[in-house]
Structure 1
Amino acid sequence: MSAVLRAAIERTTDRLPTGFDRTTAVVTAMLGLDAVWWLLLYGGHVPMPGMEWLTMEAEIPMAAPGAMERGAAHVGTLEAIIGYTVMWGVMMWAMMQPAMMRFTREYVASYRGSASGAVRALASFLVGYYVVWMASACVPLLYDIVLPGGIYGVTRTHTHVVIGSVLVLTGLYQLSRFKRSFLRTCCATVPAHVDGVPQAIREGLYHGVRCVLTCFGVFFLVMVFVGEMNLVWMVALTGVVTIERLPTWGEEIAVGIGLVSLAAGVIVLAIQPPLPLAFTL
């Protein structure tokens, strides 16, 4: 490289805004990680307990409501529960990664320290955040234990009542002050910080809990009862949780989604139209 070209590159780099390299790197890394989670999930590289029983003996489609929970329950071992938890965690990481793009960018941009310190802080933050979403697997597992016949059984027997009810409940949750207050603060501007590893992990845990509560209606009502491995719903709900975090009018989108969900639930309960849910192969 000539001395003239090197000098030109250095002058250009000097003019770049502070934090440009860090924030670009974060966005790129988050996109790359998201691609990894989706590839792991749909390449079959995550544990799926009871899959052979589901497809060969029970003849339950993987995308059916409660199918994955039925598979784990059928195996019934601690290893199966851990495997299900890992599968759920990877799935939730894949779906939440786009929604977290802006926050992680702001987190690194607000870090007041070296680039290596920012990398350590963000990695530690994500560890705490990912742990919370993996632990949230206990919610659908609890549903499957409590409901008669599990998620699969109750949804297959009372399809319109269950789907209509979860849509209505999700609509009410979306419209609640509780949900909207969490949404307003979930992706608020990140203050200047110099988080070390322990503090960053705590921040990740705290933010993860708030994200779970913010998304509870979308993921732990709608998604669980339409089938968490249903690709169409996964993509649609990923879009929902991402766009409702837009900085200026995300709350309006959340309210709009709540109204649509509420209306859809009433229609399902009253008219009982055909629903795109498959319970058998």
Structure 2
Amino acid sequence: MSVSLRSVFEGTTDRCAVDIDRTTAVVAAMLGLDAIWWLLLYGGHVPMPGRQWLLVTAEIPMAAPGAMERGVFHVGTLEAVAGYTAMWGVMMWAMMQPAMMRFTREYTAAYRGSAIGAARALASFLVSYYAVWLITACVPLLYNAVLPGGIYGVTREYTHFVVGGVLVLTGIYQLSRFKRSFLRTCCANVPSHQDGVLLAIREGLYHGVRCILTCFGVFFLVMIAFGEMNHVWMVALTGIVTIERLPSWGEEIAVGIGLVSLVAGAIVLVVRPALPIAFAL
């Protein structure tokens, strides 16, 4: 049986056709945004207050625990704090974007209205959600202000105690009912809605707070103790917060991570192995 070239090409075209609906567009947009955040970070295109002083005078690597906070406090200006906040915000957006992929897709799919209305609601939701994570820059700055010698000083002086301690605390937090209740809520299905701008902003703020409480141990204990500008740990922690939001067995992943964190913390405290943390160039 002979097959015409025309029929072959037409069949190939049909098989390669992709239906771009609103949820597909959202997933593509989220991936594109995440690529932008990571490129900004990896390329050093975000403010890094005190960078020159850290690298040249203090000879502290940017990936060291508390290095960025030490740079901000050395500069000591509101402009430095604002620059650090922008850097922190981009970093948290990059790390949370993959975890948010499923929720934003379902938020858009559950919207009952036009595509323009859905886009407006999603944009409003994301702006307020991003704002919540931007504000969390105050957490590491507060740590640095109250700890003797700042995050860098206390972690360098008591490395095994600090690292082991935060791993144990993170493990306890991962296993707590408090954490797991927020994780279940975060992964719940989105009900049908027709949010306007104000309602979408409120939902973004609400969801942002839930995300912070869900990820507190991972981002505000482990990441700070290991160095928030360490790209290896950034990728690893991004993977953790993403997979624990899987709808079917994400909670089991969270519990497993908690157990591993507890064991790892105990080993660091008791055995005191060499740790892959550099405090000097």
**TM-score under structure 2 normalisation?**
0.93
One-letter amino acid of the counterpart of residue 233, structure 1: W
One-letter amino acid of the counterpart of residue 277, structure 1: I
Q: Take 2:106 and 2:225, find their aligned partners in 1: how far apart are those partners?
A: 34
Deviations 1:97-116 (A, max 9, x none): 00000000000000000000
Report what 2:100 is aligned to.
100
- 1:217 matches 2:217: yes
Report what 1:257 is aligned to.
257
- Give the alignment of 1:226-237 within 5 angstroms: 226-237=226-237
Report what 2:133 is aligned to.
133
Deviations 1:40-59 (A, max 9, x none): 11111111000000000000
Report what 1:165 is aligned to.
165
One-letter amino acid of the counterpart of residue 29, structure 2: A
Report what 1:115 is aligned to.
115
**TM-score under structure 1 normalisation?**
0.93
Report what 1:177 is aligned to.
177
Q: Take 2:158 and 2:136, find their aligned partners in 1: how far apart are those partners?
A: 26
Q: Take 1:73 and 1:28, find their aligned partners in 2: how far apart are those partners?
A: 39
Shift of 1:187: 2.1
SS of 2:21's equivalent in the other structure is helix
Q: Take 1:190 and 1:44, find their aligned partners in 2: how far apart are those partners?
A: 36
Structure 1 unaligned blocks of 5 or more: none
SS of 2:194's equivalent in the other structure is coil
How many residue pairs get aligned? The number is 268
SS of 2:253's equivalent in the other structure is helix
> Moved runs in structure 1, 4+ residues, more than 3 A?
none
One-letter amino acid of the counterpart of residue 260, structure 1: V
- Give the alignment of 1:39-78 within 5 angstroms: 39-78=39-78
Deviations 1:133-166 (A, max 9, x none): 0000110000000000000000000000000000
Q: Take 2:37 and 2:270, find their aligned partners in 1: how far apart are those partners?
A: 39
Shift of 1:227: 0.1
SS of 1:39's equivalent in the other structure is helix
Q: Take 2:63 and 2:75, find their aligned partners in 1: how far apart are those partners?
A: 18
- Give the alignment of 1:257-276 within 5 angstroms: 257-276=257-276
State, as a whole percentage, how many aligned pairs show the same letter: 79
Q: Take 2:261 and 2:219, find their aligned partners in 1: how far apart are those partners?
A: 13
Q: Take 1:143 and 1:178, find their aligned partners in 2: how far apart are those partners?
A: 23
One-letter amino acid of the counterpart of residue 218, structure 2: V
Shift of 1:82: 0.6
Q: Take 1:32 and 1:188, find their aligned partners in 2: how far apart are those partners?
A: 25
